[in-house]
Amino acid sequence: MENYSSIKNEIMKICQKLLLIINNNYSIKELACESFNNWKNTCDQIHLQLSEEILRVAVVGTIKSGKSTLVNSLFKGDYLKRGAGVVTSIVTRIRRGDTLSATLYFNSWDKINDDISNSLLAFSSLNFNENGKKFDIRRTTDREKLTNALGMLEGEQLITSDSRNSNSLLLSYYLKGYDDVKDIITSDITTKKYMGDDFHNHTKFAGNEVLAVYLKDILLEINDSVFDINIEIADCQGSDSPNPLHLAMIQDYFLYTNLLIYAISSRTGIRQADLKFLSIIKKMGIIDNILFVLNCDFSEHESYENLLNISEKVKEELSFIKPDPELFTFSCLYNLFKSNEKAISLRDKKRLNQWMEESEFTSFSDSETRLFNSALHSKLIEKRYSLLVTNHLQRLKLITSGILNWSNLSKNILNKDSAQASEIIKKINNHQIKMNQIKEMVQSTLNGGVSKLKSELKIKINRFFDVKYGDVLPPLIRFIRNYNISFDNYEKNIKTAGFQKTLFLIYQEFKQAVDSYITENTNPQIIGFIKKEEIHCKEILELIVNPYKSMILDSLSEYSQIENNLNFNIDTESKIKIQDLSSIKKLMGIDLPPCTAIIKYSAAVQAEAMVKLGFFSIIKLFKKFLKKESDKSNKESILSLKSAIVRIKRETEDSIIFHLNNYCENIKFQYVFKLIDVLSNHLYENVIDEYKAYVTDLTGITKIIDKNMTYKKTILENLNKIDIDISELLNSIYKIRDKVTQTI
Residue range 579-599: average pLDDT?
Answer: 81
617-631: b (≥16 Cβ within 10 Å) or e: ebeeebeebeeeeee
Residue 200 DSSP symbol: G
> How many CA atoms does the CB half-sphere of 355 hold within 13 Å?
27
pLDDT of res. 457: 96
- Which is it for the CA torsion 350, 353, 357, 362, positive or negative? positive
Q: Is the pLDDT of residue 125 over 60?
A: no
Residue range 390-416: average pLDDT?
Answer: 82
For residues 555 and 219, give the distance between their C-alpha atoms in angstroms, rounded to a whole number: 52
pLDDT of res. 256: 85
Residue 270 sits at φ, ψ, to 5 deg, of: -75, 120
Give the angle 596-601-607 at the CA atoms, nearest 5°: 130
Domain locations in the chain? 1-52+387-415+708-744, 55-107+194-357, 114-170, 429-706
Of the ranges 15-19, 292-296, 437-441, which is most confident? 292-296
For residues 291 and 680, give the distance between their C-alpha atoms in angstroms, rounded to a whole number: 34
134-159: b (≥16 Cβ within 10 Å) or e: ebbbeeeebbeebeebbeebbebbbe
> How many CA atoms does the CB half-sphere of 641 hold within 13 Å?
26
Helix, strand, coil percentages (3-state) for the chain, rounded to 5, are 70, 10, 25
For residues 73 and 532, give the distance between their C-alpha atoms in angstroms, rounded to a whole number: 35
Name the more confident of 409 and 216: 216
Of 200, 210, 216, 260, the residue nearest 91 (C-alpha): 216
Dihedral of the alpha carbons of 605, 611, 617, 621, in degrees to the nearest 10: 170
Rounded to the nearest angstrom, the gap between the alpha carbon of residue 655 and the centroid of all alpha carbons in its chain is: 28
Q: Are 62 and 238 in contact (CB under 8 A)?
A: yes
Q: Is the pLDDT of residue 231 over 70?
A: yes
For residues 257 and 281, give the distance between their C-alpha atoms in angstroms, rounded to a whole number: 12
For residues 87 and 244, give the distance between their C-alpha atoms in angstroms, rounded to a whole number: 11
pLDDT of res. 362: 93
Q: How confident is the model at residue 586 (pLDDT cuts 50, 70, 90)?
A: confident
For residues 11 and 731, give the distance between their C-alpha atoms in angstroms, rounded to a whole number: 12
For residues 388 and 578, give the distance between their C-alpha atoms in angstroms, rounded to a whole number: 11
Residue range 515-534: average pLDDT?
Answer: 93
pLDDT of res. 429: 76
Q: Is the pLDDT of residue 427 over 50?
A: yes
Q: Are 91 and 237 in contact (CB under 8 A)?
A: yes
Residue range 278-302: average pLDDT?
Answer: 91
Minimum mean pLDDT among 6-10, 159-163, 530-534: which range?
A: 159-163
pLDDT of res. 617: 47
pLDDT of res. 545: 85
Q: Is the pLDDT of residue 274 over 50?
A: yes
Q: Are 1 and 381 in contact (CB under 8 A)?
A: yes
Q: Is the pLDDT of residue 300 over 60?
A: yes
For residues 235 and 61, give the distance between their C-alpha atoms in angstroms, rounded to a whole number: 10
Residue range 345-369: average pLDDT?
Answer: 92
Question: What pLDDT, in 10s, does the model give residues 376-387?
Answer: 988 876 666 676
pLDDT of res. 6: 79
Strand partners, 293: 263, 328
pLDDT of res. 129: 59
Residue 229 DSSP symbol: T
pLDDT of res. 620: 45
pLDDT of res. 425: 77
pLDDT of res. 327: 97
For residues 528 and 286, give the distance between their C-alpha atoms in angstroms, rounded to a whole number: 8
Rounded to the nearest angstrom, the gap between the alpha carbon of residue 307 and the centroid of all alpha carbons in its chain is: 35
Give the angle 563-569-571 at the CA atoms, nearest 5°: 125
CA distances from 109 to 12, 25, 185, 547 (A): 42, 54, 7, 54
Q: Are 128 and 145 in contact (CB under 8 A)?
A: yes
Q: Are 261 and 59 in contact (CB under 8 A)?
A: yes
Q: Is the pLDDT of residue 676 over 80?
A: yes
pLDDT of res. 120: 78
DSSP 593-643: PPGGGGGGGGGTS-HHHHHHHHHHTTHHHHHHHHHS-HHHHHHHHHHHHHH
CA distances from 717 to 415, 705, 708 (A): 12, 15, 14
Q: How confident is the model at residue 569 (pLDDT cuts 50, 70, 90)?
A: low
Residue 535 DSSP symbol: H
pLDDT of res. 610: 46
pLDDT of res. 563: 54
| Amino acid letter, 604 | A
Residue range 33-56: average pLDDT?
Answer: 80
Helix pair angle (386-414, 418-464), 10° resolution? 160
Q: Are 138 and 250 in contact (CB under 8 A)?
A: no
Residue range 594-615: average pLDDT?
Answer: 60
Residue range 13-26: average pLDDT?
Answer: 85
Residue 56 DSSP symbol: E
pLDDT of res. 703: 67
The CATH architecture annotation of domain 55-107+194-357 reads: 3-Layer(aba) Sandwich (3.40)
Q: Is the pLDDT of residue 293 over 90?
A: yes
Percentage of the chain beyond pLDDT 70 is 83
Looking only at the bridges linking them, the beta strands covering 259-265 and 159-160 are unpaired
> How many CA atoms does the CB half-sphere of 570 hold within 13 Å?
19
Question: What pLDDT, in 10s, does the model give residues 451-493?
Answer: 999 999 999 999 999 999 999 999 999 999 999 988 877 777 7
Percentage of the chain beyond pLDDT 90 is 35
Q: Is the pLDDT of residue 706 over 90?
A: no
pLDDT of res. 117: 82
pLDDT of res. 321: 93
Minimum mean pLDDT among 55-69, 85-99, 227-241, 695-709: which range?
A: 695-709
Of 743, 404, 174, the residue nearest 166 (C-alpha): 174
Q: Is the pLDDT of residue 124 over 80?
A: no
Element (H, E) at 54: none
Q: How confident is the model at residue 363 (pLDDT cuts 50, 70, 90)?
A: very high
